[in-house]
């Protein structure tokens, strides 16, 4: 009897865990994107780095250019699977609205720290309660979209010299870090500026330099996205 109760309890916990995780990613009262709503896809804010032997991140423009293309294509394919109606910003509009992307990066960093990490903000009461405010109104007027999808990714990889240093120091019992992949994605309601869905990625794996691994990264970031219905 006791064993059966334990099995039932564990089964219930496994069933509820994904739902709890999804709730953490959603703003209160928000459940899905309306089928007829248009989502504007903001320019991907991505940059790739090589980590030197001394641990200094060095920007790699060639890697970043490749990653940008891989990320865009993977995200577009994913959005089509989700049944989203999307529009892309023109280059001119993207330049004019660059400050909105920069604001998202700052807000996303705060969400990752205070909503998913520590310290928690007592005023938020554990809820996804963040906004870009009126700063998104020009974006709404320029596109007519109801929502905006933002993405921010920083990816770094250990250079050959860094890998050699890691191996040498490991033999001495000293561990040093290699590269890491950090990403944030947000869905923002352009009527209110509220962040209605958010997800983040922070890991020592992943690779945006190649199409296949880049698709895996996008899939991981968009896991649990509130599909249109």
Tens of pLDDT along 156-179? Answer: 998 878 788 778 778 778 876 778
Q: Which two tokens stand for residue 36?
A: 């007829």
pTM for this prediction: 0.85
State the total domains in the chain. 1
pLDDT tens digits, 121-143: 999 999 999 999 999 999 999 99
228 part of a folded domain: no
127 part of a folded domain: yes
104 part of a folded domain: yes
- When computed from its CA atoms, the radius of gyration of the chain, rounded to whole angstroms, is 20
173 part of a folded domain: yes
227 part of a folded domain: no
pLDDT tens digits, 55-112: 899 999 999 999 999 999 999 998 888 888 999 888 788 899 999 999 999 999 999 9
Element (H, E) at 199: strand 195-203
> What's the CA gap between 171 and 166, in Å, rounded?
9
> What's the CA gap between 87 and 55, in Å, rounded?
40
Q: Which domain holds residue 207?
A: 2-221
């Amino acid at each position: 009897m006791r064993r059966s109760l334990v099995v039932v309890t564990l089964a219930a916990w496994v069933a509820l865990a994904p739902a709890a995780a999804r709730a953490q990613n959603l703003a209160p009262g928000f459940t899905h994107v309306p089928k007829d709503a248009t989502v504007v896809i903001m320019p991907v804010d991505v940059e790739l780095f090589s980590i030197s032997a001394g641990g200094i991140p060095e920007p790699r423009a060639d890697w970043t250019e490749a990653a940008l293309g891989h990320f865009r294509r993977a995200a577009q394919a994913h959005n089509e699977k989700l049944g989203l109606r999307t529009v892309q910003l023109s280059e001119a509009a993207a330049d004019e609205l660059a400050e909105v992307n920069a604001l998202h990066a700052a807000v996303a960093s705060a969400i990752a720290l205070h909503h998913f990490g520590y310290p928690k903000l007592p005023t938020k009461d554990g809820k996804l309660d963040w906004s870009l405010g009126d700063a998104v109104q020009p974006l709404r007027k320029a596109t007519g979209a109801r929502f905006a999808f933002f993405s921010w990714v920083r990816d770094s990889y250990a250079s050959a010299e860094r890998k050699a240093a890691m191996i040498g120091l490991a033999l001495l019992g000293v561990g040093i870090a290699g590269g890491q992949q950090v990403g944030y994605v947000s869905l923002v309601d352009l009527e209110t500026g509220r962040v209605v869905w958010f997800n983040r990625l922070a890991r020592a794996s992943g690779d945006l330099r190649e199409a296949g691994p880049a698709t895996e990264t996008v899939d991981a970031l968009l896991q649990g996205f509130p599909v249109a219905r």
